[in-house]
């Protein structure tokens, strides 16, 4: 996602929605100001998450959302935040980005 998506609680918003939907994967800020979401789950739950991603939390403005669909890998068992400078969800100390 691009637009006003960093510094507005977008990752926490995605994390909460993904947990509620039972979707697994990750969400992270990218150095270019975008947010990346990798999600696996049932098609109907992913469709619901996609609608939330387009909306975002109050204060966010999603200008562009690029999609790439792939076969599920089964790599993710839960949904987590990937923190800047760390390679996997919830690994290492939390950092502001």
Torsions phi, psi for 79 (to 5 deg): -115, 130
pTM for the model: 0.81
Whole-number pLDDT of residue 83: 83
- Active site residues per annotation: 11, 29
pLDDT reading at 26 higher than 70: yes
Question: Could you give the residue ranges of the DSSP H alpha helices within 3-92?
Answer: 10-21, 43-55
Going from N- to C-terminal start, the domains of the chain cover 2-82
Top pLDDT among 87 and 42 is at 42
pLDDT digits (tens, 9 = 90+) for 39-74: 999 999 999 999 999 999 999 999 999 999 899 999
Q: Which CATH number applies to 2-82: 3.80.10.10, 3.60.110.10, 3.30.310.50, 3.30.70.100?
A: 3.30.70.100
Pick from 61, 68, 59: nearest CA to 37: 68
């Amino acid at each position: 996602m691009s637009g006003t998506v960093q510094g507005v609680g977008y990752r926490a918003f995605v994390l909460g929605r993904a947990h509620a939907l039972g979707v697994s994967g990750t969400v992270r800020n990218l150095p270019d100001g975008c947010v990346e979401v990798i999600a696996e789950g049932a098609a109907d739950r992913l469709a619901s998450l996609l609608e939330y991603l387009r909306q975002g939390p109050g204060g966010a403005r999603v200008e562009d959302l690029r999609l790439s669909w792939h076969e599920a890998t089964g790599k993710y068992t839960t949904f987590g935040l990937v923190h800047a400078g760390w390679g996997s969800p919830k690994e290492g100390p939390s950092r502001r980005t």
